[in-house]
Amino acid sequence: MLCKSLCDLYENDISRSEKNMSFFIEILNYFKKKSNIEFSIRTYKDFQENINIRKGLHEILNNYDLFAKLLNPIDNILHIRIKCPVCNEYDKSSKSLQIIKDQNGNYMLKSFCNKHGDYSVNLNDKNDYVDVNTQLRDLLKGYIINRNQNVLTIMMDGSDWGGTWSNRIHCEGLLHLGEQELPLRIFTPMILDWSGAKFSKSLYMKNKDYENINNAFNDYTEFKRKYSDAGMNLLWSIACDWVGDPKKFYRNYTIEYFNILFESLEGMNE
């Protein structure tokens, strides 16, 4: 399947990623004000060009078969993607990717665009963009955290990243990379739909299953219109309550539960 990153999809000279990030920045600024904690954002572009990410990827490629089987047992392929320098399209399945090791042990990645022919990147060159799938990203995050001991780094993810995924992909992967330690990792509550499935942005994007729920929980702009700052303040107090009483933090919550909590704000901006 041919894909393009959100940062390469433009509407009126603004990339889709810039447009989406503006909402996240607004929310992060709100939390900064509430908590008095500064934030900075590192993009995926910063992540993939990090020298330790490239080093970790090099080590993974040195043991391709083992990691391919661990991370992608369905097709035994490591999903590493490079994009055409002309149209920015890439092959999501990575099936067309060729990995060539030269006599000095360095890796060159080659692929093919139907419109623009062969292209290649050098794994050692941080100016060459290299994308990897979720499994590799998760493993490589742990790898760079272990190489950045000067600050306390915590990986924080939804609890769908816990359990088997964390054990197999993250912990087992790090062991195979020869790591002696595991990064500090915290899993947050997950928001569930009526069926107990994760309230999923991909399902929302397909616009299928969430037609009957409170639209403020589907769409941030609608959330702000309906509940304004009072809604954000309520979310903040709910999250503080979870953190203050950890048994509430290590639990999941349904979207119906939020409907009940938000009843007190219903009709405020109608």
Chosen residue from 51, 86, 100, 243 binding Zn ion by CB under 5 A = 86
In the complex, least distance from residue 1 CB atom to Zn ion, rounded to whole angstroms: 15
Chosen residue from 84, 97, 169, 235 binding Zn ion by CB under 5 A = 84
In the complex, least distance from residue 88 CB atom to Zn ion, rounded to whole angstroms: 7
In the complex, least distance from residue 115 CB atom to Zn ion, rounded to whole angstroms: 5
Does 116 engage in binding with Zn ion (CB under 5 A)?
yes
Task: Candidates 15-23, 113-121, 201-209, 248-256: pick the segment binding Zn ion (CB under 5 A).
Answer: 113-121
In the complex, least distance from residue 238 CB atom to Zn ion, rounded to whole angstroms: 47
Does 121 engage in binding with Zn ion (CB under 5 A)?
no
In the complex, least distance from residue 2 CB atom to Zn ion, rounded to whole angstroms: 9
Count of residues engaged in binding Zn ion, rule: CB under 5 A: 6
Query: For Zn ion, which is the closer residue by CB, 87 or 191?
Result: 87
HEC letters along the chain: CEECCHHHCEECCEEHHHHHHHHHHHHHHHHHHHHCCCCCCCCHHHHHHCHHHHHHHHHHHHCHHHHHHHHCCCCCCCCEECCCCCCCCEECCCCCCEEEECCCCCEEEEEEECCCEEEEEECCCCCCCCEECHHHHHHHHHHHHCCCCCCCCEEEEEHHHCHHHHHHHHHHHHHHCCCCCCCEEEEECCEECCCCCECCHHHHHCCCCCCCCCHHHCCHHHHHHHHHHHHHHHHHHHHHHHHHCHHHHCCCEEHHHHHHHHHHHCCCCC
| Footprint of Zn ion (CB under 5 A) | 84, 86-87, 113, 115-116
